[in-house]
């Protein structure tokens, strides 16, 4: 049977990709961030997952204001990354796992989550920055990926509670897959940031650190945050934390933090990096 071995959280700030291309990992500005990923990569090297389910938000590359699904899932054999600006280099397409995607889709819909099915899907920095922080794409990406996209672009966006429930359903779906497959699930985006308007540059370190603690110990409390709570406490783009709620829902009851690292600011954002063990 498939097994969800753990969860990973990470921001997806595009400037990280530019810093990687320029080899700035040891630069004084970047080092405190990149150091936080060393234990994550060590854990991944040890666990060697077959599949990464990456819960992320598209920023206008695959979906635009004319058509935005609340929840969407990829069912493709591969997911191309194309130029979206930000000075990012295009990365090789990320391989998919259509068989597992369809298993998850069947189960989600049967469980009343009417998710949008994408047999073609391009992936933006929300997915490829987390991927490239974990793995090299040379010679090939070492895992198959199932992208799960959550709308954070056009209000109304789904609540933390709804995302948490989607995660619970996703977790059940994944663990009912009959093949021996090791799955890691990513909650990406966040933490606090606001890229626009009067509060542009807003970061709330206290909120972020509390969120990192309670994503382990008390996710039910986090699931009671409203969208307005997130905007007030974590900035307008801090709503990306709802992706963490999907991840946490998929892990189930008790988890333990194998690694936890926070650094702010990077670009405009508070960056939280965690590895959650699902075996607790
Ligand atoms: C930044 C953060 C994001 O989440 C994003 O999508 C784009 C930019 C930033 O901090 O620069
Ligand atoms: Fe973002």
Strand partners, 118: 74
87 CA to centre of ligand 1 in angstroms:
13
Taking the chain (280 residues) in runs of 10, the rounded mean pLDDT of each run is 98 98 98 98 98 98 97 98 94 98 98 98 98 97 98 98 98 98 98 97 98 98 98 98 98 95 98 91
- Measured from the Cα of 12, ligand 1's closest atom is 4
Q: Which ligand is nearest to the CA of 57?
A: 2
d(CA 212, CA 144): 27
Nearest residue (CA) to ligand 1, atom 4: 13
Q: Which residues line ligand 1 (CB under 6 A)?
A: 12-15, 59, 193, 195, 237, 267-269
- Cis-peptide into 265, omega within 30 deg: yes
d(CA 23, CA 63): 31
Residue-wise pLDDT for 164-211, tens only, equals: 999 999 999 999 999 999 999 999 999 999 999 999 999 999 999 999
d(CA 145, CA 184): 10
What is the b/e burial string over 68-93, where b = at least 16 CB atoms within 10 angstroms of the residue's CB?
A: bbbbbbbbbebbebeebeeebeebeb
- Cis-peptide into 156, omega within 30 deg: yes
Ligand 1 pocket: which of 9, 10, 13, 272 to mutate (most atoms within 8 A of CB): 13
pTM above threshold 0.85 = yes
CB atoms within 10 A of CB 212: 20
Which of the residues are catalytic? 125, 193
- Measured from the Cα of 265, ligand 1's closest atom is 10
């Amino acid at each position: 049977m498939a097994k969800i071995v753990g969860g990973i959280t990470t921001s997806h700030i595009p400037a990280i990709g530019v810093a990687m291309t320029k080899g700035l990992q040891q630069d004084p500005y970047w080092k405190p961030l990149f150091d936080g990923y060393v234990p994550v990569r060590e854990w991944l090297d040890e666990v060697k997952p077959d599949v990464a389910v990456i819960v992320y938000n598209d920023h206008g590359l695959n979906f635009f204001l004319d058509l935005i699904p609340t929840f969407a899932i990829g069912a493709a054999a591969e997911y191309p990354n194309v130029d979206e600006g930000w000075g990012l280099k295009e990365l090789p397409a990320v391989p998919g796992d259509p068989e597992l995607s369809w298993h998850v889709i069947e189960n989600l819909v049967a469980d009343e989550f009417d998710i949008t099915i994408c047999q073609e899907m391009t992936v933006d920095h929300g997915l490829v920055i987390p991927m490239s922080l974990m793995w090299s794409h040379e010679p090939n990406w070492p895992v198959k990926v199932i992208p799960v996209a959550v709308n954070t672009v056009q209000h109304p966006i789904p609540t933390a509670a709804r995302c948490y429930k989607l995660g619970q359903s996703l977790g059940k779906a994944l663990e009912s897959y009959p093949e021996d497959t090791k799955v890691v699930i990513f909650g990406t985006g966040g933490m606090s940031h606001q890229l626009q308007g009067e509060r542009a540059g807003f970061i709330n370190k206290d909120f972020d650190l509390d969120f990192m603690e309670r994503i382990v110990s008390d996710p039910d409390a986090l699931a009671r945050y409203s969208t307005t709570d997130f905007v007030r406490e974590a900035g307008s783009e801090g709503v990306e934390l709802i992706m963490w709620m999907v991840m946490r829902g998929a892990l189930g009851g008790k988890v333990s933090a194998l690694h936890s690292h926070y650094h702010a600011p990077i670009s405009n954002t508070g960056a939280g990096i965690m590895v959650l063990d699902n075996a607790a």
